[in-house]
Structure 1
Amino acid sequence: MNHILDVCKSVYNYALRGHKDWLSSRKSPINICSIISEYIIPGDTPYPNYNYQAKNLTTAKKTNPKLKSVNAQVLQQTLKQLDRAFSEMKSLGKGFPRFKKRMRSFVFPAMLKNYLGCGRFKLPQLGWIKIRQSRPYPEVMVAKQARIVKKATGYYLMVSFTSSKSVPDNLVGKTSLGIDAGIESFVATSTGKLIKAPKFLSGQLRKLKLASDPAPPPGARERASLLQRRLKHKNKGSSNWSKLQNRIARLDEKISNTRRDWHFKITHQLCDLADNIFVEYVNFNSWSKGIVRKQSLDSGIGQFINEILPYVCWKRGKYYAKVDKNYTSQEYPLCGHRQKKKLSDRKHNCSNCSYQINRDVAAAKIIRNRGLIAVGHTAKEKRTACAEVPSA
């Protein structure tokens, strides 16, 4: 598996070099010579897309024994990965693809016959491999492809199954719930519930410091990662450097698994409350670069809203939709009046109807009302006994 990853990395970087050379050779103006770059590739050379590079790969496999030692479809999937990166760069505005220091996964797009076994799986080049099967195989589905992922704790096999049956979309239910991504709390619901996220990163770094240094200096900041400090004093590529890198990678994987497990548990609790789940459409990439970048990256709010919540809602038959985010923190759920507030103002105090409520909860109510209007239901907000009304 390490050999396959190494060959895939070489193919990816070589193909990327071909893309960059072709683009660099076209930067020179037509009427004048450029000092920076000149045509280094003939003008009639076609653009090195997937079809062009896959054809060259077939020719190279005849003379290169290293390429011949790896399954041809695996290398073709690596070229498709690079082609998708260039497509997303143009369509989604992502950055230019970078050269890879290491490949973390590879894909077998086609399966062999009789590939399923009890506690084992048969792959085209590797043959039968033993696995710790986490769940039973689907009986009425066929395996489409298999991906092997390398992590700090070992290799993981991800099998995608396909079925000829179509799954209908979830229908709109009776009860609805609005969810707002907050700053002080992880999320706030339209029912008035505030959920705070554990500090996954800070807690693990504290354990890391105590475990890595038996006698820490007095007054040292617990949140500092001592392992990463020790890493820069090691010789790069040495045995101790590799061991320390593995310890840091295992810690990062543990933090990620803990966060993801907590996300799934919270999602199932939210799905128990209503049939319709409404959230606001937010660009969480901007959150990771703003003043709340530390809180948003530690809590993983983007992964929760965009990946885990819609998946669990689809799995449990709940209706999931996104609504417009504009003025959700300025509009009042009772009267609809809009009033600007600072980020430090954490409570709504309406000057029109004297209605007071937590700012994040009010935003969640607005999200729920907008979601109901979008699906054709009437959104009505009534003042209840639990509303915070200022005393005379």
Structure 2
Amino acid sequence: MNYTYRIYPAANQQAQMLAWLESCRRLYNYALRELKDWMNSRKCMVDRCSLEKEYIISADVPFPGYMEQKRQLPVLKETWTGLKDVHSQVLQDVIKRLHNTWENFRKRNFGFPRFKKYGQFKSFLFPQFKESPIVGHQIKLPKIGLVPITLHRPIPDGFAVKQVRVSSRCRGTQWYIVATIQSDVSVPDVPVHGRAIGIDLGLERFITSSDGSYVERPKFFKTVQSRLKVLQRRAARKQRRSKNWEKAQIKVAKLHHHIAIRRKDFHLKNAHKLCDQAQTIFAEDLNTVGLNRGMLRKECVDASFGAFLSLLEWVCWKRGVYFEKVNPNGTSQTCPNCQAAVSKTLEDRVHNCPECQYSTHRDHAAAQMVLIRGLDNVVPVDDGERKLPGLAVLSGAFCLDKWLSRKAQERS
């Protein structure tokens, strides 16, 4: 698990960490340049390569892999000013970070590593610790020293700090650490149990549950958009790279950070609220990338459905609640009462079934369909109970759902 804490380094420590970030950025770009040069020199046959546009590398030079580039670090430290000041394992992690991106590109066939511009490299990692670096209300970072930390929640008993990532936000004015903690405990998969609900995510109502409850969508970005527009206009009028320009950019970054933490706080509170309501949650497996590119992309990005689903899945795992995503196709075009197809446009906000006369809010009907599709994975048995592949018996709280009552009548 990862725990995030705010730290408050001194002025000299901030300058040192900013210098580390710049050295890591330059090393990342240097290693990526080696990788791209090696690839460009082997794009075509030797007798057909352009001697003017491509750097020709000998055929016996191996591919600059992770181990090969990591072995070059001691040599680079002798000629590269600034690398000696950075912790050796931090530099090794920079090379590892590049090759992780390269391997992901090879698997997905998209997302080729890019060069990092000034200010784009915002974190570095200490990959291992012999002892816990957190001592009281301070954290001891190698070569940096003791840094005050806001320990708003203690490290749980039985957990050890394995890694610490130092991250800068708001253009280097705010600093955080992400502590990776580990315990030698085997956590079993959460079985389906207790009361089940289905949820539907939307722009009118952020969350609509199958039991009829819903949560309105707060407009995090639009509420402060006018203020952001003023700050961006002031920043644009400043001379680029001047001190006043940097101050104006920091104000813009802090407002964006304020929007992000408000959104995350809203997501986290509602995730815990859903876990309080039920022990089994079904949600739509939305194509969030496609939604963020559609005609309502501004509202979808502001709502951040993908971040909420990821956070909800983590909260469910942490609290022992079963979570599963279902196919979202046609959930709003199907009647949850009789399974008839009821076509609706985006303007139709009420579900009226012409077959069974069932009427409810559009999002409520979609949430009920999500619950039905989720419960289709339940395997009925002959003893009158409903079991799942994990051999977990579902409790009688499912009888609160009309669909299960109807299914029980059909089986009888």
Fold shared, TM-score > 0.5 on shorter chain: yes
- Superposed displacement of residue 37, structure 1: 5.1
SS in 2 for 1:345: coil
1:54 to 51, 70, 73: 70
Write the distance in 1 (CA, Å) between the matches of 2:105 and 2:111: 6
Q: After the TM superposition, which residues 1-392 of structure 1 pair with which residues of structure 2 at under 5 Å, given as runs?
A: 1-29=17-45, 32-33=48-49, 38=54, 40-101=56-117, 102=119, 103-113=121-131, 115-152=133-170, 153-206=173-226, 208=227, 225-305=229-309, 307-376=310-379, 382=402
SS in 2 for 1:97: coil
Write the distance in 2 (CA, Å) between the matches of 1:374 and 1:35: 62
- Superposed displacement of residue 367, structure 1: 0.9
Give the AA of the match of 2:100. R
SS in 2 for 1:261: helix
User: Is the 1:111–1:123 Cα contact (8 Å) retained in structure 2?
Assistant: no
- Superposed displacement of residue 352, structure 1: 2.4
- Which stretch has the larger CA shift, 250-259 or 311-320? 311-320
- Which stretch has the larger CA shift, 61-70 or 31-40? 31-40
Give the direction of change, closer, same or farther, for the CA distance of 1:368–1:93 in structure 2 (3 Å limit).
farther
- Superposed displacement of residue 269, structure 1: 1.4
- Which stretch has the larger CA shift, 66-75 or 20-29? 20-29
Write the distance in 2 (CA, Å) between the matches of 1:181 and 1:252: 24
User: Is the 2:162–2:182 Cα contact (8 Å) retained in structure 1?
Assistant: yes
User: Is the 1:263–1:304 Cα contact (8 Å) retained in structure 2?
Assistant: yes
SS in 2 for 1:52: helix
SS in 1 for 2:176: strand
Report Cα offsets for 1:136-158 as digits up to 9, x if no partner: 12332221011111112511122
User: Is the 1:349–1:357 Cα contact (8 Å) retained in structure 2?
Assistant: yes
Write the distance in 2 (CA, Å) between the matches of 1:301 and 1:140: 34
Give the AA of the match of 2:351. H
Write the distance in 2 (CA, Å) between the matches of 1:89 and 1:283: 21
- Superposed displacement of residue 357, structure 1: 2.1
Q: TM-score, normalised by structure 2?
A: 0.83
Write the distance in 1 (CA, Å) between the matches of 2:111 and 2:132: 42
Report Cα offsets for 1:49-101 as digits up to 9, x if no partner: 21121112232123434211111100111111111112222223442222212
Give the direction of change, closer, same or farther, for the CA distance of 1:235–1:78 in structure 2 (3 Å limit).
same
Write the distance in 1 (CA, Å) between the matches of 2:35 and 2:355: 61
SS in 1 for 2:344: coil
- Which stretch has the larger CA shift, 344-353 or 308-317? 344-353
User: Is the 1:85–1:97 Cα contact (8 Å) retained in structure 2?
Assistant: yes
SS in 2 for 1:171: coil
Structure 2, gaps ≥5 residues long? 1-16, 381-385, 387-397, 404-412
Write the distance in 2 (CA, Å) between the matches of 1:70 and 1:243: 28
Write the distance in 2 (CA, Å) between the matches of 1:36 and 1:16: 21
State the structure with bigger RCO (CA 8 A, min sep 6), 1 or 2.
2
Give the direction of change, closer, same or farther, for the CA distance of 1:44–1:341 in structure 2 (3 Å limit).
farther
Give the AA of the match of 1:138. P
Write the distance in 2 (CA, Å) between the matches of 1:343 and 1:179: 18
- Superposed displacement of residue 368, structure 1: 0.8
Write the distance in 2 (CA, Å) between the matches of 1:150 and 1:114: 22
What does residue 406 of structure 2 align with?
none
SS in 2 for 1:131: strand
- Superposed displacement of residue 38, structure 1: 4.5
- Which stretch has the larger CA shift, 241-250 or 361-370? 361-370
SS in 2 for 1:66: coil
Structure 1, gaps ≥5 residues long? 210-224, 384-392
User: Is the 1:185–1:195 Cα contact (8 Å) retained in structure 2?
Assistant: yes
Give the AA of the match of 1:131. I
When the two chains are superposed, the root-mean-square deviation of aligned CA atoms in Å is 2.2
User: Is the 2:324–2:374 Cα contact (8 Å) retained in structure 1?
Assistant: yes
Write the distance in 1 (CA, Å) between the matches of 2:55 and 2:116: 26
User: Is the 2:313–2:323 Cα contact (8 Å) retained in structure 1?
Assistant: yes
Give the AA of the match of 1:274. A
User: Is the 2:336–2:369 Cα contact (8 Å) retained in structure 1?
Assistant: yes
Give the AA of the match of 1:16. L
